[in-house]
Amino acid sequence: MSEAQHEPTDAELLAAHVGGDPDAFGRLFARHRDRLWAVALRTMGNRDDAADGLQDGLVAAYRRAGTFRGDSAVTTWLHRVVVNACLDRLRAAKVRRAEPLPDDLDERGDRGSLRSATDEVADPADHASRTEQRAMVLDALRTLPEEQRAALVLVDMEGYPVAEAAAILDCAVGTVKSRCSRGRARLAELLAPLLDAAEGDPHDTPARNPVASTPVEPTDAPRGPPATG
Amino acid sequence: MSDPEPTPAEEQVRRLLADARHDEPMPAEVVDRLDRVLAGLDLGRPTPPVDLAARRRRRTARTLLVAASAVVVLAVGFTQLDLGGGGGDAGSAQRSEAGGASAPQSDVDGDSAGDRSQLATGPPVVLSSAGFGTEVRALLAAKQGSASARPIVPSLPPACADLAVGPGERLAVQYDGEPGVLVLRPPSGDRQRVDLYLCGETAVVRSSTVAVG
């Protein structure tokens, strides 16, 4: 009796786009853009490159929508296209880079959002410490090979299940686990000062390791995706 | 089945990564940019898709040739631009084409057609999908180094002339052998975005953001 307004699923929107609906892809993208942005940002390391990579992915997804076979969720496919676009850019940059990109250097100094601390931290000193710590983590993350970085961004940062991360990265589950493991091991070396501090008294050391609001669950048990806003 | 237990250090790393997660929404300027790209894609839908991957595959054979060509074209193009200004030294920035005298903008009546009267012509700049970012940076650097304040729109092909590309300086290019327009958006702070359009297509094909100044 009640004419409940049907909210099309992602798959329906994608099909509508393929069928010629001019608004469908925009609606689909709007649903997922914040999370796609987060993944692109953390994978690329700075806003400008993230926007470029995301744009590449957007254009590719728009144009290749007809090739989506429904083997995975639409959002997984979207992430795959965007992550691949980002990785393509990273690889191309690595090939041609003879010197550090200006963006890479600038990033360390003037881009707040990379080190964005959206948390409501009352103590400015605590806030500064946490921001500095995030910067260290992100700087260390950027030194990893792009495949390891992408795996860690998806699994440890974004909370994707390993299986879904594998689908996004188009590789085996074991490969994702291996990349994550190697990446974490390398990060543990790079971030040793933070880890050492955390092993002391995490509440009294100046560069203390923050205590996560929720415990990090095992690799196979995802924290779950963030609420889309 | 049984994965090795994560070490305490790994657990701490995971916690640090989780804490460094980005929780903010996409910035408004990125939303606007992507919305414009989408709008362009919608408008250009009947046109054949640009297969960037195919371009990427094709690029390998010509990367070196294209890069070399780009250097030559840039060098020739900017040398030509500076010829009227006395050889490209820094002091020639304000010289007009009329013999190097300081007569800035005296040949312009002030209407929009005046912009066109200042346009330099020449061969299109050669860009490649393989080296797009680097080539764009080199282009802007060369442009700044040329000390020429004139807009440069070398010989826009007819198919590109009517493209609605929005604000910014337009530059005719060959991108992987296809004619296009590079639009140098107005700088925002120390950043300048550059968008590439292919002639006959309304969507941005490539973009890059470059540090300027």
Residue of B nearest to A51 (CA): B30
Which of A29, A52, A56 faces B209 most closely, judged by CB atoms?
Answer: A52
pLDDT at A143 exceeding the cut of 50:
yes
- Distance, CA of B205 to CA of B197 (rounded, Å): 6
Question: What would the pLDDT profile of B150-196 be if each residue is shown by its tens digit?
Answer: 444 455 666 677 777 888 888 888 787 777 888 888 888 888 888 88
Distance from CA of A166 to the nearest CA of B (A): 16
Q: Which of A53-57, A138-142, B99-103 has the lowest mean pLDDT?
A: B99-103
- Distance, CA of A150 to CA of A148 (rounded, Å): 5
Binary contact (B16, A219; C-beta < 8 A): no
Could you tell me the two tokens for A166? 């594998």
Most confident of A112-116, B24-28, B105-109, B196-200: B24-28
Cα radius of gyration rounded to whole Å, chain B:
22
**Distance of CA A229 to CAs A18, A39, A72, B13, Å?**
26, 15, 23, 27
Q: What residue type is assigned to position B71 of the chain?
A: V
Could you tell me the two tokens for A175? 């490969």
- Distance, CA of B38 to CA of A183 (rounded, Å): 35
Residue that is written with structure tokens 């702070």 in the block: B189
pLDDT at A9 exceeding the cut of 90:
yes
The predicted model gives A215-225 an average pLDDT of 48
pLDDT-derived band at A189, boundaries 50, 70, 90: very high
Q: Which of B25-39, B159-173, B194-208 has the lowest mean pLDDT?
A: B159-173
Is residue B82 a contact partner of residue B92, using CB atoms and an 8 Å limit? Answer: yes
Asked if A187 reaches chain B (Cβ–Cβ under 8 Å), the answer is yes
Distance from CA of A1 to the nearest CA of B (A): 37
Residue of B nearest to A132 (CA): B20
Residue B104 included in any domain: no
Which of B17, B50, B56 faces A156 most closely, judged by CB atoms?
Answer: B17
The predicted model gives B117-141 an average pLDDT of 69
Is residue B204 a contact partner of residue B37, using CB atoms and an 8 Å limit? Answer: yes
Asked if B20 reaches chain A (Cβ–Cβ under 8 Å), the answer is yes
> How big is the A-B interface in CB pairs under 8 Å?
163
pLDDT at B1 exceeding the cut of 80:
no
Provide the pLDDT for residue B71.
53
**Distance of CA B74 to CAs B77, B136, B190, B202, B210, Å?**
5, 11, 23, 26, 17
- Distance, CA of B159 to CA of A89 (rounded, Å): 29
The predicted model gives A177-206 an average pLDDT of 75
Provide the pLDDT for residue B123.
63
Q: Residue B196 forms beta bridges with which residues?
A: B182, B206
Long-range contacts of the stretch B101-107 (C-beta < 8 A, 24+) = none
- Distance, CA of B85 to CA of A43 (rounded, Å): 45
Provide the pLDDT for residue A41.
94
| Residue B116 or A102, more confident | A102
The predicted model gives A59-65 an average pLDDT of 91
Provide the pLDDT for residue B180.
84
Domain count, chain B: 1
Residue B205 included in any domain: yes
pLDDT-derived band at A174, boundaries 50, 70, 90: very high
In chain B, % of residues over pLDDT 90: 8
Structural domain spans, chain A: 9-107, 121-229
Question: What would the pLDDT profile of A112-135 be if each residue is shown by its tens digit?
Answer: 333 333 444 456 677 778 888 889
Provide the pLDDT for residue A110.
37
Binary contact (B25, A223; C-beta < 8 A): no
Provide the pLDDT for residue B127.
83
HEC per residue, chain B: CCCCCCCHHHHHHHHHHHHCCCCCCCCHHHHHHHHHHHHHHHHCCCCCCCCHHHHHHHHHHHHHHHHHHHHHHHHHHHHHHHHCCCCCCHHHCCCCCCCCCCCCCCCCCCCHHHHHHCCECCCCEEECCCCHHHHHHHHHHHHHHCCCCCCECCCCCHHHHCCCCCCCEEEEEEECCEEEEEEECCCECCEEEEEEEECCCCCEEEEEEEECC
Which string of b and e fits B144-177 if b means at least 16 CB within 10 Å? eebbbebebbbebeeebeebebeebbbbbbbbbe
Is residue B104 a contact partner of residue B97, using CB atoms and an 8 Å limit? Answer: no
User: CA A32 from chain center: how many Å?
Assistant: 12
Is A207 strand, coil or helix? coil
Would you state the CATH architecture of domain A121-229?
A: Orthogonal Bundle (1.10)
- Distance, CA of A163 to CA of A156 (rounded, Å): 13
**Neighboring chain B residues of A209 at a CB cutoff of 8 Å:** 12, 15-16
> Of 1.10.10.10, 1.10.10.60, 3.40.1500.10, 1.10.1740.10, which CATH number belongs to A9-107?
1.10.1740.10
Is residue B182 a contact partner of residue B127, using CB atoms and an 8 Å limit? Answer: yes
Residue B100 included in any domain: no
Is residue B181 a contact partner of residue B197, using CB atoms and an 8 Å limit? Answer: yes
- Distance, CA of A106 to CA of A120 (rounded, Å): 27
Q: Side-chain half-sphere of A144: how many Cα atoms within 13 Å?
A: 31
Q: Which of A63-77, B34-48, B140-154 has the lowest mean pLDDT?
A: B140-154
Query: Which residue range is the domain that position B41 belongs to?
Result: 27-92+119-211
**Neighboring chain B residues of A187 at a CB cutoff of 8 Å:** 13, 16-17
**Neighboring chain A residues of B9 at a CB cutoff of 8 Å:** 184, 188, 195
- Distance, CA of A6 to CA of A25 (rounded, Å): 17
pLDDT at B204 exceeding the cut of 70:
yes
Binary contact (B17, A52; C-beta < 8 A): no
Question: What would the pLDDT profile of B80-108 be if each residue is shown by its tens digit?
Answer: 443 333 333 333 323 222 333 333 333 33
Provide the pLDDT for residue B113.
35
Residue B21 included in any domain: no
In chain B, % of residues over pLDDT 70: 52
